[in-house]
Homo-oligomer: A and B are copies of this chain.
Amino acid sequence: RFEAYGWHVLRVPDVNDLVALDAAIRAAQAETDRPSLIICRTHIGYGSPNKVDSAKAHGEALGAAEIEGARAALGWTAPPFVIPEPILEAWRAAGRRSVAAREAWERRLAASPQREAFKARLSNDLPDEVFERLSAFKTKMSTEAPKLATRKSSEMALGEINAATDKTVGGSADLTHSNFTITPGMGSVGPDDASGRYIHYGVREHAMAAVMNGLALHGGFVPYGGTFLTFADYARGAIRLSALMGLRVVYVMTHDSIGLGEDGPTHQPVEHLWALRAIPGLDVVRPADANEVTVAWRTILDRTDHPAALSLSRQNLPVFDRAVLGSADGTARGGYVLADADGAQPDVILIGTGSEVQLALAASKLLAADGIKARVVSMPCVEWFSEQDASYRDQVLPPHIQARVSVEAGIALGWHQFVGTAGRCVSLEHFGASADYKKLYAEFGITADSVAEAARDCLANVRPGEIHR
C-alpha cells in the first residue's frame, strides 16, 4: 500500500537483528526523493514469558512475577530504574554528537545579513498589512453593498490576505472551485515543484486537516483548507487535534446548510455546527454577510493559538447596510446587537447566525408592524461571545428579557442555553432533502414568519418580571 503511494518501503524481518535495522535506517537516510517506511516484525511484550505476543502486554501492567520473568529472559541484572553506566554514557554521547554542528549553524545565523528575515519567516506573526487590508476591504464592501454568498466574500477576503503575506498555505479537498479557496498567483504544490502555496489535497479531508496541523506545528505558516461543512465529519479526528494542540488552522467550510439545495441530505449539514461547537477550543464562525466575513478572517488570524471553522453559505446573502445597523466589528466579540427597534427597550430578542440573520431582521419588521419591539442579535461565534465579560454579554442579551428566539438552519441543541426556558428555537431537527434552497427553507419552516410566530408565542407565555440568569 505504501509502495502504491510512492513511498520508499523497507522491511526488517526481525527487529532484534540490529545490523539489519541499522542498514535499513541508513538506506532511509540515503533516500532523498521519497519518504521512507521501515516495517519491522516485532513482538509486543518481548521477553515477558506469558504475555509476549498478546494484547495483555498492551492493556495491562505486567505485574511483579511477569517482570521478574522478563528480566530473567532478557538477562537484565540492573536494579529497577537504574540505567547501567555504559548505556547511560552511550545516550549522553548521542546527545553531544551534534553539538559542533548546531553551534556552527548558530554562528552562521548570527552572522547572516538575512538573520532577521529568517526569524520573521519562521515566526507566526503576520504583517500589519494583512489586517489593514481587511479593514479597508470592509469599508469598500459597505459602500458597494452587493449580494454575495459568504463563500464568495471569503474568497475576496483571502485575496487581500494572500496579497499581503506569503505565509498562508491554502488548499481544498477537491472542492477548490466550490469553496473559493484559491486566489490569483498562489501556485500549486506539486510532486515536482513545491514552490507554490496551494495544495490540491484530493478527496482526503482527514489528510488535509492532518497536513495543516503539521504546517502549523512547523511554524511560519498559516494553513487554511476547504471542504463542504458536512464533510467535516471525515476530518473530525484531526480537527480535534488542532484544538487540543491550540493550532491556528483555518477550516473553510462552505455549503453550510440546507441552503446548498439539490445535493440533498448527504451533503446538507444539519448537526455539524453544534457538533463542531462541541469541540473545546475550536472557534466556529458563521458570518452573516460580507462584512462579518472580513472581520471574522481578521479575528481568526489574530488568534494564534486557536483553530477556527468558518461556516460559509453557498447561496447569496444580502450585505447589510451598516449605516443604519450595528457595526460588523461586533463580529470580533462573537455576538452583537445588529438592530434595535427605535432604540427603545426591546420586548423580545431574536438571535441569528449566518444566512438566517436576514430572517431575524425580516421578522423584526413583521413584529414592528404589530407594535412588538424586537432586538436582532447576530451571533457569528458562540465561543468568542462566551469569552466576553458578563457586562458585555448582559448588554447584548439583557437578563430581564426572557422572550428570546434563536434561528439557525440546523439543530437547536446549544441554542436552548441562550434562549432559556421561556425561549423558542427555530431550527431543523431532522435530515434535509433535495430541492431548491428556497423551497427547502419554506418547507421546513425556516422563515421570517416562523421567527415572528415564535416570538409572539414567547411573549404570550412569559410572565412579567421573570429574570434570565
Residue of B nearest to A60 (CB): B177
Chain A contributes a number of interface residues (CB within 8 A of B) equal to 46
Given contacts A275-B278, A280-B411, A421-B422, contact A240 B233 (CB under 8 A): yes
Bound: A56/B177 CA distance, A: 8
Task: State whether the Cβ of A234 lies closer than 8 Å to any Cβ in chain B.
Answer: yes
B469 touches A466 (CB 8 A): no
Residue of B nearest to A468 (CB): B421
Given contacts A234-B237, A469-B422, contact A270 B274 (CB under 8 A): no
A266 touches B244 (CB 8 A): yes
Q: Which residue of the partner chain, among B1, B244, B414, contacts A414 with CB atoms under 8 Å?
A: B414
Task: State whether the Cβ of A464 lies closer than 8 Å to any Cβ in chain B.
Answer: no
Closest chain-B Cβ to A85's Cβ sits at a distance in Å of: 31
Using a CB-CB cutoff of 8 Å, which residues 416-469 of chain A contact chain B? 416-417, 420-422, 429-431, 461, 466, 468-469
Interface string of A256-294 (1 = CB under 8 A from B): 000000000110001100110111110000000000000
- Chain B residue numbers with a CB within 8 Å of A241 are 266
B280 touches A177 (CB 8 A): no
Bound: A233/B233 CA distance, A: 7
- Chain B residue numbers with a CB within 8 Å of A236 are 233-234, 236
- Chain B residue numbers with a CB within 8 Å of A279 are 271, 275
A59 touches B280 (CB 8 A): no
Closest chain-B Cβ to A424's Cβ sits at a distance in Å of: 10
Going nearest first, the 3 A-B pairs with the smallest beta carbon separation are A416-B417, A271-B278, A420-B421
New contact pairs (14) apart from A270-B280, A413-B414, A414-B414, CB-CB < 8 Å: A1-B5, A4-B4, A231-B237, A234-B236, A243-B431, A274-B274, A274-B413, A275-B278, A277-B413, A280-B411, A402-B421, A413-B413, A416-B417, A466-B466
